[in-house]
Structure 1
Amino acid sequence: MYYGYGYDWTIILVLIGAAISGIASLNVRRTYAKYSKLRNYRGITSNDVAEHILHAAGIYDVRIERIRGNLTDHYSPNEKVLRLSDAVYGQTSVAALGVAAHECGHAIQHQEGYAPLKLRSASVPLANIGSWISWPVILIGLLIGYTPLAQLGIFLFTFVVAFQLITLPVEFDASARALRILDQDHILEGEEHAGASKVLKAAALTYVAALFATILQLLRLVYIVNGRRRD
């Protein structure tokens, strides 16, 4: 692939980032598949666990809904809805209980006013701007040879990096809360708790991989724009 006047070696950074993200994604799918076959000995479902955790935290105004997809689980603070995917909703596997507890961790963060969660929510508009506008601005700047415009695009892209960086403590904390509750309330013990822990750690690594890939992309853009400026 050529860029400008020569071979664009920086594409290697993109490929490295894609490879790392791919490995992390494959790892979480394999880990979930493994522990989705391990049923908890009490036979309780992910919905039961989610309801128990929410009520124990004094949260009664959060609905639990089913959402299509595989591992599309999430908590919506604006709607106060905890959505569990087809692979999790109503399931009794150790993996499903771990994921449900993790999403409850986000609901508890919301109730407590957890600062990183507030910061992440506030940064969503900027992250969206960076995601949608940065690339057109960079490309136009490069095409017309106006470096300041391309640099503006890079600045906008840093919003995406910042959002992903803020996301890490939010996700890690939610998993830590989930595992602590599952242990303290004797919902999962021994091998079951260890399995849930592996599932949540694998999921957390996907966020780390995504951040690393985005940083590599940012470095690539900086190199390309600065190289054009020198030319």
Structure 2
Amino acid sequence: MGYIIYFILIMIVPILVQVYLKKTYAKFLKVPASSGLTGAEATRKVLDENGLYNVAVEEVRGTLSDHYDPRSKTVRLSSDNYYGTSIASISVGIHEVGHAVQDKVNYGPLRLRHSLVPVANIGSNMSFIVILAGMLLASANLILLGIVLMAAAVLFQIVTLPVEFNASSRALKVMVGSGIIRNNEESGARKVLNAAALTYVAGTLVAVAELLRFVLMFIGMRNEED
């Protein structure tokens, strides 16, 4: 039974969440916002309203490849969202503005996430290799090292959750408050933002489940040694 639950967590849940995100995004990508602003125009407007004149808005290739780059102070929007005038396009753009505002006000979880990037990168790239080596060599110490590395990557994902939810909360308030979307459009914007946030929740659940599996494996090896 435990393996079935584990399989559902690491395989089925992420797939279902991705399907839901793409379906929701595609639906509201076809619904024009009453403001008539493109994602890029709405993003620029809100950046300026928050005094973020130094933050650029650029087009980037890909689908849902939108992100805020704190190093270059740039909001990058995928083509559909950069030029689109839909509720989805505007919602995604303003969500990224939320990250820019977090950067401006030194939002704690965002600062913590940035500080974790180097160790999280090492953890995500090396943890499975170290754990596999530990399994092949029957070395509990190597497995423990791999678990520590994996835990760093998992911590990064956990810290990402409040960062993303806060950015979405900021985005929704700004869009309604500034009139970029009207009250009857708020529900659609919320659905787009929530669907995107669910992908981070699913990713974190998978990461935690993987970490727990290896922790239990390590405990089992230690018990056998005793």
Correspondence 1:169 to 2:154: no
CA contact (8 A) 2:34 2:182 kept: no
Q: Identity, % of aligned pairs?
A: 42
Deviations for 1:96-134, whole angstroms, at most 9, x for unmatched residues? 100000000000111111111111011011110110111
Q: For 1:38 and 1:103, how far apart are their aligned partners in 2?
A: 20
Q: Gaps spanning 5+ residues in structure 1: where?
A: 1-8
Mapping of residues 169-188 of structure 1, within 5 Å: 169-188=162-181
Cα distance in 1, alignment partners of residues 74 and 56 from structure 2: 5
C-alpha separation in 1, matches of 2:175 and 2:85: 14
* Partner in structure 2 of residue 159 of structure 1: 152
Deviation at 1:227, TM superposition (A): 2.6
Compute the displacement of 1:224 (Å).
2.4
Segment drifting more, 160-169 vs 186-195: 186-195
Hey, what does 1:103 align to over in structure 2?
Answer: 96
- Report deviation, 1:14: 4.3
Secondary structure class of the residue paired with 2:85: coil
The Cα shift of 1:208 comes to 0.7
For residues 87-166 of structure 1, the aligned pairs below 5 Å read: 87-166=80-159
Within-5 A mapping of 1:4-153: 10=3, 13-153=6-146
Aligned partners of 1:58 and 1:79: how far apart in 2? 17
1:211 aligns with 2:204: yes
Residue range with higher mean Cα deviation, 137-146 or 11-20: 11-20
The residue identity in structure 1 corresponding to 2:201 is V
Instruction: Calculate the TM-score normalised by the size of structure 2.
Output: 0.94
Out of 13-22 and 99-108, give the one that drifted further: 13-22
* C-alpha distance in 1 between matches for 2:68 and 2:4: 35
SS in 1 for 2:118: helix
Structure 1 moving runs of 4+ over 3 Å: 9-12, 228-231
Matched-pair contact (CA < 8 Å) for 1:14–1:217: no
Q: Which runs of 5 or more structure 2 residues have no equivalent in the other structure?
A: none
> How far is the alpha carbon of 1:191 from its aligned partner?
2.8
Task: Give RMSD over aligned pairs.
Answer: 1.4
